[in-house]
Structure 1
Amino acid sequence: MASGMAVVAAVYLYRATKRRRQRPSLCDRLGGTPGPIPYFGFVPRSSEHFLYGLEILADTYGDTFAIKIMGQESVVLTNYETIKGVLKERPHNFIRAFNKDKLLPIPGMLTAEGEEWKRNRRLAAPALNEHNSAEMVPAMAVVAKRLVRQLRTLDCDGRVVWEPTNWLMLCSLDVLCLTTFGMDFYFLNPDGITVPPGSREIAQSIFHFVEGSIYILDFSAILPSITRNRFPWNLNPIIKKFYASIDRLNKFADDLAVQRRAEWEGRERSDLLSGLLQLDKHDFEGNIVTLFFAGSETTSAALSWCLYYLCLYPDAQARAREEVDILGHDPETNDDLDQLPFVESCILETLRLKSPVPLLVNETTANVSVRGHEVPEGTWIVTLTGKQMRSNAEGGSSFRSAFLLADILFGIRAYK
């Protein structure tokens, strides 16, 4: 294991030295720092260290600066207009950095680039329009009530102690399976319902895939090689279970496709699954597997932070409760949700302060211009979207529960 790490470090050192000889320093043109470690620059210990370290450096060097990250020439951005320009060009002059190394060995919208990405998005996007999203609300309400019953089983002397991140992950997976696949695996099962055969195995595979995806993306900027499904890295139980889960979930996707095509023969449908069924077998499998990660972990994290803020600000919690009490019943339809603008404002404010994706790392595929400076091909462009959303121009870093309420009442609602 030690010799393997030494080889990986040597390869990175060689790459860093080679780049240094071939390219002029971006720090001289954009400002910034080469980093604390010669040749390597900034070496993050974890994804959290990577994010917070760059945010602290942005406070020192401004909204555009250069730095070496693991020997990789990089430009870090926090300016809104500059970030917007990069994201707009992404299918053309930028690719996601983790896609270059194929860290997630699955096809689909998350890992596709260029024309392939456009095709995947074109088929999936209509299923998430306002009309189809509204039709998902009753199923979401079923799962929400199930969560309430589940939490009541934890009652001890009138108190419920629970970990939102864990239970909300199960809740998100139930919503995903019901709304997208029309199947219920009862990840939340307060009523002791007998689950269908094979459901437990699929549920376990989903958890292993989500856990492995988080682990792999954590190491994407540090040592991507150790996430591969080869010796000695696959001795790591997280890596081993991750790749085994992909095989199991691909089989689930194939069975689902056969079942749904038989059920829907001759009928027109506009939901997400029917759109994805137009893809070839490999892309369909990849998108189904991707949904388990993209549709569960981020949602549960956002909801957990929202609950945290409502606990931290009791006045906001009281106002949210009052709004639901005025509704008079548990929300079950999209029209019901429209009557809860303050609750929606709290959720949007949470997303502003605690973005599920606080940074994006793209790599240039051609020479590009950033703030009037030429940036060569092969440079990482790190956009700190989370920090930008907490800027004074966007509302600052404090939770302001009614900050977006006017937009909801007079902007978004009027647009609807």
Structure 2
Amino acid sequence: MGDSISMACGMIPPSLLFVILIMLLLYLGSLKPKGYPPGPKWWPFLGSALEVARLRKKTGYLHETFTLLGEKYGPIVGLKIGTDRIVVLNTYESMKSMLMNDDCDGRPTGPVYESRTWGKRRGVLVTDGILWTEQRRFVLRHLRDFGFGKNNMATLIEEETKYLVNSLLHQLEMIRVDKGPVQFNNNIKNDGRIYQLSSENLNKSDGECLKKPIKIEDVYMKAQDYADVRRVSQSPSMIIQMDEVFGVPILNTLWKMMSGKRYNADDRRLNHLQRILTTLFKECDMIGCLFGHFPILRYVAPVASGYKQFMEIHQQLWSFLNEELVNHKKTFDPDVPKCLMDAYLKILQSESHDETFSELQLLAIWVDLFMAGSETTTKALNFCFLYLVLYPDVQKKAQDEIDREIGRDRLPRLSDRPRMTYVNAITLESIRMFMGRTMNIPHRTLKDTYIMGYRIPKDTMLAANFSRILMTDDVYGDAEVFRPERFIDSKGNISVPEQYMPFSIGKHHCMGEVLAKSNIFVFTATLLQTFTFSVVPGEEIPTTDFTDGVTASPLPFKVLITKRF
């Protein structure tokens, strides 16, 4: 019998045998594992990629795509995109079941997670096992030594907010001294023209009209609009690009603990780093990139698959950080460690250090901390001030609390937080609005396991759809409304529902939670103490639309910033 089969195979041309083998592998790849969660049909080679792409084009966002799939197939959706099995969790119960399961404590593998750190998974954000355990323990221990979670951290944040406020006040003063107040007369309402306040500030002279096209209904300015323009022209105000305000100050709070130094807000190199990080976050999403799901595309379509852009951005990031490391070594004193980098370099000088420690690992940690601790906090603050502009009553309540609890003789401090319930609630609501539009960092099953009765094979990617616990009316009633009061109970204390877990739970709970909440609270309180932020007169009201990516980001928006006193 065996000889007969061998003879038959020998009569088949090798090329045909190859085709048959490929077709067999494609067929087997389209079969769902036994007990796998329900989901769209799997096609050979593509899996359910076409259905995911169709829905993403329809909704514009990955999390909304997964929400629609959840409505059709249930709270746990089983997918396959290219070579990757992906299970999406759309309810609090399923997410908690996964996050508290030790069998699900892995992080994804593959081209995306390896290419970002020199061909091997490094860092603390998307690693697991011994490397993750040792490196995370080291980072947390030594960050605490240099201020993380302590009074030193509060001082760093408060210093950065002071620098920012003084910078904005200086800009306002330069407008007042150098240009003088803008004068408006009745031409605005007599001839129906809408006057340009300023492209950068309120320094344009009377009589200059908006150059951009305007709607016909905007030609006739109402009396209240005219009053607003006069009020603005007579107060210390300017127009700023709000989404560009927080990048460098937030980077500095982390950079000081990492490398022992800070940069000025106008520093060219740090602004360049901020732009690199922003671009990087737009190029991928939380479940990877096209070339990650279809690795062969790295070679046959590097541009179309995003691989070329991904590597170019990382090359810039690596180059920047490596140059910083080289410069840092010139002043490094192992006997007097001043920052996390010093502590790490001191370990590397020891001949008996653990094999998980290396200079590449140090740079990877740097990348991860900037991504997890800087870029995300910056985006959360952008969402915060976008909604404060759109909800001026919320802003006014916060300012009333600041005036009542702190006054105007000193700047807010992190230690003020326990008695500033409303500003604290704004912090929680801002994080909800930000994290509620994204996915968590994916997990990976370390072995075959079960989640709520479904069998999940080893090496399956697990993605929690945070919009289903942070932006659902079932939990929050009016989830799309910016309402900090939802986090304040009848006794005036902070109260959060159990579904509120934007920083995740379990072993991989975000280690930057303390820094993120502290930054958002202090920056918000300090800026609102000194300024009022409002819609620019004559401009379109900022939209709440946002861009998709690793994290959500508001569309660029301008605000009118006015000195309060």
User: Separation in 1 of the partners of 2:91 and 2:328?
Assistant: 44
| Cα deviation, residue 25, structure 1 | 7.0
- Can you list the C-alpha shifts for 1:260-304, whole angstroms capped at 9, x where unaligned? x41x7256x7x6556655454222222123333223221111011
RMSD over equivalenced CA pairs, Å:
3.9
* Distance apart, 1:74 and its partner CA: 2.7
Structure 2: gaps spanning 5 or more residues = 1-21, 176-199, 204-232, 348-356, 497-565
For 1:73 and 1:222, the matched residues in 2 are separated by 14
Q: Is the 8 A contact 2:76 2:90 kept in 1?
A: yes
Residues 55-74 of structure 1, C-alpha deviations (whole Å, 9 max, x = no match): 22223333223233346433
Give CA-to-partner distance per residue, 1:306-331, whole Å, 9 cap, x none: 11222222221110111222212353
The within-5 A match list for 1:186-335 is: 186=264, 188-189=265-266, 200-201=268-269, 203-217=271-285, 220-224=288-292, 225=295, 232-233=302-303, 236=308, 239-257=311-329, 259=331, 261-262=332-333, 265-266=335-336, 272-273=340-341, 276-277=344-345, 278=347, 279-326=357-404, 327-329=406-408, 331-335=411-415
Q: Which of residues 166, 171, 175 in structure 1 aligns to 2:253?
A: 175
- Pick one of 83, 91, 96 that aligns with 2:95: 83
CA contact (8 A) 1:349 1:401 kept: yes
How much does 1:371 deviate?
0.3
Q: Aligned pair 1:114/2:129, yes or no? A: yes
Matched residue type, 2:280: G
> Rg: which structure is higher?
2
Percent identity of the aligned residues? Answer: 18
Q: Which amino acid aligns with 1:53?
A: T
Q: Structure 1 residue 104 and structure 2 residue 116: aligned? A: yes
User: Aligned equivalents of 2:455 and 2:150: distance in 1?
Assistant: 41
Q: Which residue of 2 aligns with 1:6?
A: none
Q: Give distance in 2, aligned partners of 1:139 and 1:383.
A: 36
Q: Matched residue of 2:246: which SS?
A: helix
Q: CA deviation at 1:13?
A: 9.9
Which deviates further from its counterpart, 133-142 or 359-368? 133-142
Q: Distance in 1 between matches of 2:171 and 2:257?
A: 22
Q: Which of 162, 167, 176 does residue 142 from structure 1 map onto?
A: 162
Partner of 2:469: 388
In the alignment, which residue of structure 2 is the partner of 1:5?
A: none
* Distance (whole Å) between structure 2 residues aligned to residue 381 and residue 182 of structure 1: 37
- Contact 2:75 / 2:89 at 8 angstroms: preserved in 1? yes
Q: Distance in 2 between matches of 1:403 and 1:272?
A: 38
Aligned residue pairs, count: 384
Residue 374 (structure 1) aligned to one of 432, 455, 463: 455
Deviation at 1:93, TM superposition (A): 4.8
Q: Alpha-carbon deviation of 1:393?
A: 5.7
Could you say what secondary structure the match of 1:58 adopts?
A: helix
Structure 1 unaligned segments of length 5 or more: list them.
1-11, 190-194
CA distance in 1: counterparts of 2:432 and 2:281, whole angstroms: 24
**Pair 258,142 (structure 1): closer, same or farther in 2 beyond 3 Å:** farther
In 1, Cα distance between equivalents of 2:253 and 2:170: 15
CA contact (8 A) 2:449 2:458 kept: yes
* Aligned residues of 1:94 and 1:364 also touching (Cα < 8 A): yes
Post-superposition CA distance 1:175-197 (Å, at most 9, x none): 333454332322x24xxxxx6xx
**What does residue 41 of structure 2 align with?**
34
Aligned to 2:533: none
Of Structure 1 and Structure 2, the greater helix share is in 1
The answer as to whether partners of 1:206 and 1:292 remain within 8 angstroms in 2 is no
